[in-house]
Structure 1
Amino acid sequence: MVPIEIGPQFFRGDLRVLNRAGHETHAFLLVANPDLIAQILQLRRSGISNPILVLRAARDADNAAQALDAGADDDIVMPIRAVELKARINAVLRRAHGHAADSITIGEVTAFFDGRDPEVGGHRVKLSRREHKVFQQLVLNARKVTSKAAIYDAVYGMSDDQPFDKVIDVYICKIRKKIGQAAPSGYPYIETVHGRGYKFDTSEPDHGLRPVAAE
């Protein structure tokens, strides 16, 4: 996780810009403060569905209940290990996208929502950090078309280091090639939907897979 610090001035801007597709995968970690409830309400009233997790120094049942009622997804007492915090964020994200389990299997591919490398034909396929972020966005929206802009925002969103959007095409090509090489069928599972984006899916409902050359 690479956190980007925000302050009170963040809430004075137009929060609606965060409603662009792709931003919904960024979680807000709000430290308990006098303006906490107002901040949560402001995010939710702006139509923002991002996970909101509250971090507080000591257990406080009444204030935790108020935060959850205002729209927070979790209220956590610090200290907390990064591995648990990441798991809590992933749990909120996958449920928000309609996935109850920690993985999804499509054809020969088992994709995980907890950061593990996917398994293709029973074998692990190693992905780089950036490839993971791109693949995760496709997996969360499995069987649906995800625009390149949404993937770009999910990967680079609020980062100061934003490359040209063509970099997404490069990552898609690399992921597609790795999956296609590992799959017994040779099918890459990432379909280009021209003019709309990409879709993580099998070629046909009955899984009749056909090898397709990577772009």
Structure 2
Amino acid sequence: MKILVVEDDASIAEAVAALLTKQQHYLVDIAADGQDGWELATAFSYDLIVLDVMLPKQDGISLCRQLRREGYQMPILLLTARDTGTDKVIGLDAGADDYVVKPFDFSELTARIRALLRRGNSTLPPVLEWENLRLDPSSCEVTYSNQALHITPKEYALLELFLRNNQRVFSRSAIIDHLWTLEDPPQEDTIKSHIKSLRQKLKAAGAAADSIETVYGLGYRLKSLSQEETSQAEAAELELNWAQQQTMLAVAKAREDFKAGISDRLAVLEQTIKALNNGTLDTQLRQKAEQEAHKLAGALGSFGFAEGSQLAQEIEHMLQDTTCLDQTQSLRLCELVMQLQQKP
């Protein structure tokens, strides 16, 4: 599965991409603004788009509406820090399939993505089976005759591609297009190595040596497995699922990276306070600070810093007021920024 994440907050985008890559073995491309999102969405085939509402160059609602107007049918999941009924209605009316409000729980987000992918192609069963071969996308477990196969993420992606398209022959270039991101396309010989390794693991589990068949001059496809193969003992269950471990590690790393860069993200708010105290705060800087507070509220909450998220939300609401701040409001705004500097 290939997913496009359109999100200008790098910390959120990278965390979501890491989770989808490590937990679900999805391929993920990232766009930092609406214009890049449009160019990627129209140039490549994606199974789902995760789309932030507040974006530079083109907002998420407009991009969603434009994609639907041009006939693109992939599921679209909107992300926003605004939890109002009006925003939800506008987003859904624009063609979005679901709507998640920041701050969000990463596990819930991935669950919603899995649900949309299932809904997006209702003909696909939740568990993929090909005779004795079984792949469960929800847990990322692969078994042959009830024996667990320990395969790499790229081997998993290959197997899922063949199982979801079991009548199709894939050329090496088609496999690269489906299973690699734009930044790291491999040489075609790399595909041969992955196929060879996957065949060996399937054979070791009892499958036929040519269970992944080479169609000379065309590519590869899944071959019907022999009915004469004998079953083997079911592998013992792992105490902690590998995917769950990877999810925990990815969230922890993203959280630490976010903490390390929080001071840089407060620069606009500090600049705003300085301008406010000097009486030089203009509309452009005020709007820029409002947008940064908006993004901080979502990121802080998603990474588990609830108190910091509440502070950022209050800052955003104060900056949204277009009237001039009186002395009491100015002091409160300064106090909020100072408190946020001490968080998380």
Q: TM-score, normalised by structure 1?
A: 0.76
Q: Is the 8 A contact 1:105 1:111 kept in 2?
A: yes
Question: Is 1:7 equivalent to 2:19 in the alignment?
Answer: no
Q: Is the 8 A contact 2:135 2:143 kept in 1?
A: yes
User: Secondary structure at the residue paired with 2:140?
Assistant: coil
Write 1 or 2 for the structure with the bigger share of helix: 2
What is aligned with 2:52? 31
**Which digits, 9 at most, give the CA deviation of each residue in 1:136-176, with x for residues without a partner?**
22233234333433321222133x22221321222122112
Question: Is 1:196 equivalent to 2:192 in the alignment?
Answer: no
Q: TM-score, normalised by structure 2?
A: 0.50
Shift of 1:31: 1.3
What are structure 1's unaligned runs of at least 5 residues? 211-215
Question: Is 1:66 equivalent to 2:90 in the alignment?
Answer: yes
**Count of aligned residue pairs for this structure pair:** 200
Q: Is the 8 A contact 1:146 1:197 kept in 2?
A: yes
Counterpart Cα distance in 1 of 2:36 and 2:170: 28
Counterpart Cα distance in 1 of 2:212 and 2:38: 40
**Which digits, 9 at most, give the CA deviation of each residue in 1:30-84, with x for residues without a partner?**
1122722220122334454443211122433333233233332321122333333
State the AA in 2 paired with 1:179.
L
What are structure 2's unaligned runs of at least 5 residues? 1-16, 19-27, 230-344
Counterpart Cα distance in 2 of 1:24 and 1:44: 14
What is aligned with 1:170? 193
1:174-189 matches, cutoff 5 A? 174-183=197-206, 185-186=207-208, 188-189=210-211
User: Secondary structure at the residue paired with 2:208?
Assistant: coil
Rg larger in 1 or in 2?
2
The Cα RMSD (Å) is: 2.9
State the AA in 1 paired with 2:111.
A
Question: Is 1:81 equivalent to 2:102 in the alignment?
Answer: no
- CA pair 120-36 structure 1, distance change in 2 beyond 3 A: same
Instruction: State percent identity of aligned pairs.
Output: 27
Counterpart Cα distance in 2 of 1:38 and 1:45: 10
Q: Is the 8 A contact 1:16 1:47 kept in 2?
A: no
What is aligned with 1:213? none
- CA pair 154-12 structure 1, distance change in 2 beyond 3 A: closer
- CA pair 137-91 structure 1, distance change in 2 beyond 3 A: farther
User: Secondary structure at the residue paired with 1:63?
Assistant: helix
Find the partner of 1:152 among 159, 162, 176: 176
State the AA in 1 paired with 2:65.
L
- CA pair 50-189 structure 1, distance change in 2 beyond 3 A: farther
Q: Is the 8 A contact 1:147 1:198 kept in 2?
A: yes
User: Secondary structure at the residue paired with 2:187?
Assistant: coil
User: Secondary structure at the residue paired with 2:36?
Assistant: helix
Q: Is the 8 A contact 2:31 2:37 kept in 1?
A: no
1:98-113 matches, cutoff 5 A? 98-99=122-123, 101-113=125-137
User: Secondary structure at the residue paired with 1:71?
Assistant: coil
Q: Is the 8 A contact 2:52 2:80 kept in 1?
A: yes
Counterpart Cα distance in 1 of 2:73 and 2:173: 18
Shift of 1:12: 6.2
